[in-house]
Amino acid sequence: MQLDKDSILAANGSLHNHEADFNHLAEKLSRSHTDVEALVKKIADFQVAVPSWALGAGGTRFGRFSFHGEPATLEQKIADVGILHALTQTAGAVSLHIPWDVPTDYAAVKQIADQNGIVFDAINSNTFQDQPGAKLSYKHGSLANTDEAIRAQAVEHNHEVVRIGEKLGSKSLTVWLADGTSFPGQRSFQKALAQTEKSCKEIYAGMPDDWSLLIEYKPYEPNFYSTVIMDWGTSFMLANACGERAYTLVDLGHHLPNSNIEQVVATLMAKGKLGGFHFNDSKYGDDDLTVGSIKPYALFLIFNELVYGMEHNPQNPDLAWMIDASHNVKDPLEDLIQSLEAIQEAYAKALLVDQKALAAAQLNHDVVQCQEILQGAYRTDVRPLLERARLSRGGALDPLGAYRTLRVREGLIGERGKHTVATGL
């Protein structure tokens, strides 16, 4: 199923209300000398990768409830990203997970991606599960394992992932480790860290010169006493040990409650070491909920630092943006549409922050004014800007509304049936 521009245009209907809302906001913003056209262009240019594992129903360790019309093949997953992109014009990339999504026909996979305007962003390895036919088990760790042969198998898997990514045009590898311990005394912290550093360096040494290594961290789960790469500091240290094309990847859900993620982002960007970013939201831990569904103001504050970094830290690379969420009760495509909208909304609001005025207020120790500036941007209803950005690229005025009006899920069920199950979940 592919959505054509004409059906989206038809679903858009009259733009009368949009024009009125946009003109009202544009007039208001121009009073503070905002270049509205440039703002819309920046929003339209912002693209986020959708991971191949997010198109089907997720699940918890207690159960998984299938969703009808799930994509059963990699080609169908890319087609789903194409639907999201056609509607939102902000999901122009897919992030594959290996070995869940090893292409069997590279030409066919690239062709369907091309047809849908989708590129291949960072590719993800998996050494947190044993795959069918695997010689050695990762039960007690992969890159940090005490057994050299197991570490070698895990390093080789990462090299294999890079080779797959090269055929598709990816330029970065994301490594997330489940390695750690669930009980005190289970392993030597120092030895586990040293083995991880050695393995990461071997992965890095095997990557092409134009590739980046993105190192993700997480404080707990699936191990509950310790994880080897527990926080941004450990990731940063490993990235520095590997070399200049190794970076830290921040996942919003991979922090202990109330962590100041915006400060983490600012610190990493100042050091030129923030390489990737995973969006989701959470109440308690790595909940993988819809972006912006729980803490939209925190998301805005994080975006404020990201925008500052993108404008002031040329030492930091362009980031690999990805949604890393799981869909247990919502239609995954509807959930992703909501996440994409929340990301763009936070980004647009952060773009509205008057950085000059904020710097002046900071110099004057005008704490009240600092808050006024941030919250003034945050309280602005930027949705007409998002609508204009989507319309400028042929997207939907209201992506969720169009998805329902065009009966996309019903169409997918018609094509795929009710009982397909997405691979890897």
Tell me the three state secondary structure of residue 249: strand
**164 vs 175 by CB, closer to Mn ion:** 175
The rounded distance, in Å, linking the Cα atoms of 370 and 108 is 53
3/91 with CB nearer Mn ion? 91
Nearer to Mn ion, 89 or 326 (CB): 326
> With contact defined as beta carbons under 8 Å apart, do 214 and 185 qualify?
no
Nearest approach in angstroms of CB 215 to Mn ion is 11
Query: CB–CB of 253/288 below 8 Å?
Result: yes
**How many Å from the N-terminal Cα to the C-terminal Cα in the chain?**
22
The upper half-sphere exposure of residue 239, i.e. CA atoms within 13 Å in the direction of its Cβ, equals 30
Give least dist CB 251 to Mn ion, A: 4
Which residues, in sequence order, are CB contacts of 34 under 8 Å at separation 6+?
352
Are 301 and 294 in contact, with CB atoms under 8 Å apart? Answer: no
Q: Would you say 255 or 388 has its CB closer to Mn ion?
A: 255
Least separation in angstroms between residue 317's CB and Mn ion is 18
Q: How far is the CB of 216 from Mn ion (least distance, A)?
A: 6
d(CA 363, CA 209): 43
H or E element, residue 275? strand 274-279
CA 161 from chain center: how many Å? 19
> Nearest distance from residue 93's CB to Mn ion, in Å?
15
Minimum CB separation of residue 250 from Mn ion in Å reads 9
Whichever of 279 and 378 has its CB closer to Mn ion, that residue is 279
Residue closer to Mn ion, measured from CB, 18 or 278: 278
Question: Is the CB of 85 or the CB of 278 nearer to Mn ion?
Answer: 278
User: What is the spatial distance between Cα 188 and Cα 277, in angstroms, rounded to a whole number?
Assistant: 30
Query: What is the rounded distance in angstroms from the CA atom of residue 250 to the CA atom of residue 286?
Result: 12
CB of residue 51 vs Mn ion: minimum separation in angstroms?
Answer: 8
Between 251 and 387, whose beta carbon lies closer to Mn ion? 251
User: What are the C-alpha distances in Å from 49 to residues 4, 79, 273, 274?
Assistant: 21, 14, 20, 17
DSSP state of 364: T
Smallest distance from Mn ion to CB 287, Å: 12
Could you give the CA distance from residue 81 to residue 94 in angstroms, rounded to a whole number?
7
Q: How far is the CB of 249 from Mn ion (least distance, A)?
A: 7
Contacting positions for Mn ion (CB under 5 A): 251, 278, 324
- Any idea how long the chain is? 425
The residue assigned the tokens 């997970």 is 97
Cβ proximity to Mn ion: between 54 and 193 the closer is: 54
Show the tokens assigned to 178: 């489940």
Does residue 240 contact residue 197 with C-beta atoms inside 8 Å? Answer: no
As a whole number of angstroms, the longest Cα–Cα distance in the chain is 66
Q: Which residues sit opposite 94 in a β-bridge? A: 50, 120
